[in-house]
Amino acid sequence: MADTDQVAEADRLAATLEGPLEHLRQARPFAKPRFQAQVLDVVGRLLRAPGGIEKLHLLAPRMDAAGLFAGSDWDAPANLLPGLVSGTLEHGAPASVSAEAVSLLRLLAVARGETEHPGIHAAAARRFLTQVLALNMRRFFGATDEAARAAGTQQTATDALFRYLADHVGFQDVLGELVDEIWRILRQRPIQVAPAKDMIAQIAITLSERGGEVGDRRLGADRLVSALFGPTAACMGDPGLERYRERLAMMDETDLRHEAQGLARAMHDTGLVSDYHAAFLLWVLDTEHDGMIADTLGLGSTGRDCLQQHRGLVIELIQRAVRPETAQALYGLSLLLDRGILHHGPIAPAFRRQLELAPCPAVAERLSVAGLHVAQPADLLLAGCIQVLGQPLGVGQGANPTCQSARAIAMWGQNDPDYLLHLVAQAARMDTVLMHFEGRAINSGALPEGLAIGAPLDADPVSVVLVPHLDRIYAEMGRLCADRNDDPHIWINPEFHGWWVGRVCAVAVDVPTGALAGAEDFIARFHMAYHPDYNGGEPVIHPQPAGVAATDAAGRFVGWHAITILRVAPDREGEMRVYFYNPNNDSGQDWGKGAVVSTHGAGERFGEASLPFETFASRLYLFHEDGMRPAPACRPSQDILACVTQEARKTWAAGRQEISGEAISRLAATEQPA
């Protein structure tokens, strides 16, 4: 009887929700907050009622569609951060707890194909839930402690919600999917690995407490855990840094060299750097075993030569930038040396300038907040510079609409590193950046905010310092050519990024009307500019900015997105592919209709994404080319052009009108503004 009464209570509350939900749906935007509060109040009671979570699962898509999240961060699910969910559910106000719960159940419905959402597709929703569950494994395993017991009913409801999500995502697959997901992200070698480290820490706890329930998925999980907490025999079992240093003191030269090589193997295998690795290198320097630096970093011949030529500078960089809290700088330093860029004349003196640079108070505060105060701001920024120059394709925009700025930082890190260090020095010292547009000076300090509101906090230190300024400058350049009746990137991209950007720009869209403009001619020009079979075999010499029409997993248009074309080459199967840089934190995306972006297994280097040439062309809307070159040898066949154009019309160009190719021809001749 008691169970029947409890079920009846959930039914009664769900029925009570119908009235406020209908009022919310019909309310005008300014009146929605009133009815949101009423809905969330009933949601809170349903969460605590037996069977209430199932009711909310069914109602979540309706609540979302009615406007429950209007005016809040939950209204843009693609921008939500998995790491914030637990804090909201544990410490948030009752209304926030209810909203977070409905948001998760809404995403569960999307992930299971029960509904669709214009802001996120099923694969992304499932990935988000998997990460949330990974960060809260203890909650749905049923582990409790005194704090959980003291929290009472709300804690019980939250744990029940996590168990419900795990049951419906499928916990038997959660750990396996999580391990696969972490490896997929790490193969892209991002600079920001804190989310991955957090998830690995949760996996370590789970393996320790309930390893017997994991099964054959344990091997991949153990590799990740050991990379962070026990990459060598000397630190196996995670003994702590002090005990580890004691063990090092007892080793002879041969054992130390084996330790160095083992740490380096683990680092290059995963892209993760253990705290023990940083502690080892600092101990080596303190005890005058600096002949082991090359082995500890896992350097190749170029890196060893750079180290030999710039030994004093490298040691200074390590002593200032590397510590257990900033251990990832070691991986950046290893790759920086192997790139050989210290042999480029301006780089060594630019790093010496960076060693002496003291950020101004405003910049220091931003760095401290973003870096969680783990090191002095100047040292954090130095570590960030090392990482960006070592891993330029690891720069990510975070949850910020600043793809152009992230792309620029990555491009300069790859192609013009001394210019990037020049900009960093400007921004750090003066909290401003000076650039020029068509001869006109633009000072970021005198400009209003751009797309980024404040500094990004979920980005690398270089981005924290530079992105607010680059964002303002980019927006100002757009304002300066807003009256030219064409896509502003025609003029902005060469001025903003560098001399190597092609001065001829092709755009597949007529900007004033949004119509397709000479689509087949656009596709043909892209082939003749970039495809080796049509451009005389000329490779991509410098990275070129380009724009894609981003689409979701259903092929629906999402928005315009900035990427960089890095190279065009056949993969191992002989298929011609475009390899490109995507400033999103995760480049492995499903753009729908068979356009699944690959980041591993199709010839990609670390940080690259790729698509078959024609598939990439079907999502492209803007590219640059060099106008000073011989006429192309041949034009693609009409069958190829028609097929690629049709793919565009079925996806991002669906519903767009089409105009003649005259707009394309006119843009091809546009090198300077009228």
Dump pLDDT digits (tens) for 31-61.
889 899 999 999 999 999 989 999 999 999 9
Check residue 297 and give its pLDDT. 98
Residue 65 covered by a domain: yes
pLDDT for 381 beyond 60: yes
The predicted model scores a pTM of: 0.82
Dump pLDDT digits (tens) for 405-448.
999 999 999 999 999 999 999 999 999 999 999 999 999 999 98
Number of domains in the chain: 4
In sequence order, the β-bridge partners of residue 183 are: none
Residue 637 covered by a domain: yes
Q: Are residues 19 and 163 in the same domain?
A: yes
Residue 353 covered by a domain: yes
Contact 572, 528 (CB under 8 A): no
Residue 275 vs residues 198, 239, 271, 279: alpha-carbon distances, Å: 14, 12, 13, 6
Q: Are residues 150 and 11 in the same domain?
A: yes
Q: In whole angstroms, how large is the CA radius of gyration of the chain? A: 27
Check residue 134 and give its pLDDT. 78
Query: Of 139-143, 195-199, 573-577, 612-616, which gets the smallest average pLDDT?
Result: 139-143
Final residue of a domain: which of 343, 362, 391?
A: 343
Residue 244 covered by a domain: yes
Q: Are residues 100 and 136 in the same domain?
A: yes
Q: Are residues 407 and 334 in the same domain?
A: no
Q: What is the DSSP letter of 291?
A: G
pLDDT for 356 beyond 90: yes
Q: What percent of the chain has pLDDT over 70?
A: 91
Residues 6+ apart with CB under 8 A from 102: 43, 56, 60, 63, 64, 68
Final residue of a domain: which of 290, 323, 343?
A: 343
pLDDT, averaged across the chain: 88
Report residue 202's pLDDT band, with 50, 70 and 90 as the boundaries. Answer: confident
Residue 458 covered by a domain: yes
Check residue 176 and give its pLDDT. 77
Q: Are residues 510 and 578 in the same domain?
A: yes
Residue 565 covered by a domain: yes
Of these ranges, 171-175, 221-225, 226-230, 656-660, the one predicted with the greatest mean pLDDT is 226-230
Q: Are residues 136 and 244 in the same domain?
A: no
pLDDT for 452 beyond 90: no
Residue 205 covered by a domain: no
Q: Are residues 405 and 337 in the same domain?
A: no
Q: Are residues 470 and 518 in the same domain?
A: no
Q: Are residues 339 and 353 in the same domain?
A: no
pLDDT for 204 beyond 90: no
Backbone phi and psi for residue 589, each to the nearest 5 degrees, phi listed first:
-115, 155
The alpha carbon of residue 520 and the mean position of all alpha carbons in its chain are separated, in whole angstroms, by 33
Instruction: Give the type of residue at 164.
Output: Y
Q: Are residues 365 and 325 in the same domain?
A: no
Packing angle of the helix pair 519-530, 638-650 (nearest 10 deg): 120
Residues 6+ apart with CB under 8 A from 424: 354, 381, 385, 462, 465, 466
Check residue 451 and give its pLDDT. 66
Q: Are residues 508 and 611 in the same domain?
A: yes
Check residue 514 and give its pLDDT. 85
Q: How many CB atoms lie within 10 A of CB 63?
A: 25
CA atoms of 243 and 561, how far apart (whole Å): 49
The better pLDDT of the pair 10, 474 is held by 474
Final residue of a domain: which of 293, 308, 343?
A: 343
Q: Are residues 98 and 15 in the same domain?
A: yes
Segments forming the whole domain that contains residue 318: 230-343
Residue 197 covered by a domain: no
